[in-house]
Amino acid sequence: MNEMIPAVSLQNVSAGYDNNPALENINLNIAAGSFTGIIGPNGGGKTTLLKVMLGLLEPWVGQVRILGQDPQENRRLVGYVPQAANINRRFPISVREVVSLARLAGKLPIFHRYSPADRNMVNYCLTRLDVLNLAERQIGQLSSGQWQRVLIARALAVEPVLLLLDEPTSGLDANASSMVYELLQELNKEITIVMVTHDTLAISAYVRDIACINHYLHYHGEPDISTDLIMQLYGCPVDLIAHGVPHRVLEEHGGRS
């Protein structure tokens, strides 16, 4: 019934900080149920795009809709998984408390206590991400892979229609990374996923659509794009090959087909 309404719709969106534009004239529709990777160079506006979708940053112009609704008015639409390294892991808080805090979405918590429904949802998310046995641990006592799964559990506890992830596998080894991707693939059966990533493996193996962002939206579609486009996007193809960023794998992928 909702098939016609895109999960994410941005129309003529421009946004930035102070007087510096980070995104210009972005038109992007992400279909409900898709698994989309956002790629682009550092400083190209990927994180800004996430913030606009989250309703954390008001666009200068243009319109943002999540399943047809304003993300700033309905805070329960989007689950957010920030870069794991940005959070203070020394903070005295348990895994269960971290995930529980997501249940405060859209509330004004005065004399707040978690309801049985909240507690059930927290347990469900912890179980789903296979971290229930770690629930009472202080967050500093987790491995990077476990911590990443806790952050995903927290985002799911919002019960969102859209899951936004900012580089969910940075700092993880190959094993932990593929575990995270397989999990996301599983979650993708019920929920739309948009993920900022630098991981070429993810783009070739798991992601079904990509959006290339460098101030402008350069491409949005299936993950087999031309070298021309990558050149336009990153500006310097030589550097790209040297550092092995998306284009090399993508081309191989395209070449095989």
Partner 1 sequence: MISSIFEYNFLQNALMGALLSSLACGIIGPIIVEKRLVMMSGGIAHTAFGGIGLGYYLDVEPMYTALGFSLFSALSIAQIQRRSSVMPDVLIGMFWPLGMALGILFISFTPGYPPSMSTYLFGDILTVSRSDLWVMAVLDAMLLFISFSFFHLLQAYLFDEEFSNALGLPMVLAESLTYAMIALTVVVLIRVVGIILILALLCVPPALARLFRNDLPAIMGLSVILGAMLCLAGLALSYHYNLASGAAIVILSVTVYSLTQLVLRYFRLHLRNMHRNLDSAANSAHNIE
Residues that bind partner 1 (CB under 8 A): 18, 54-56, 72, 75, 78, 80, 82, 86-88, 91-94, 97-98, 101-102, 104-112, 138, 140, 154, 158
CB of 236 to partner 1, least distance (A): 31
CB of 96 to partner 1, least distance (A): 10
Q: Which is nearer to partner 1, 1 or 110 (CB)?
A: 110
Q: Are strands 192-196 and 61-66 parallel, antiparallel or unpaired?
A: unpaired
CB of 110 to partner 1, least distance (A): 5
CB of 152 to partner 1, least distance (A): 13
Candidates 190, 109, 98, 194; CA nearest to 153 is 98
What letter does residue 133 receive in the DSSP assignment? G
Q: Which is nearer to partner 1, 100 or 200 (CB)?
A: 100
Candidates 240, 148, 254; CA nearest to 198 is 240
Candidates 51, 58, 59, 75; CA nearest to 24 is 59
Amino acid at 135: A
Is the four-CA dihedral 236, 238, 241, 244 of positive or negative sign?
Answer: negative
User: Left, alpha or beta for 140 (phi > 0: left; psi -120 to 50: alpha)?
Assistant: alpha
Q: Which is nearer to partner 1, 108 or 174 (CB)?
A: 108
CB of 98 to partner 1, least distance (A): 7
Q: Which is nearer to partner 1, 93 or 179 (CB)?
A: 93
Residue owning tokens 């191989």: 252
Burial of 248 (0-12, 13-18, 19+ CB in 10 A): middle
Q: Which is nearer to partner 1, 76 or 128 (CB)?
A: 76
CB of 47 to partner 1, least distance (A): 11
Q: Which is nearer to partner 1, 66 or 233 (CB)?
A: 66
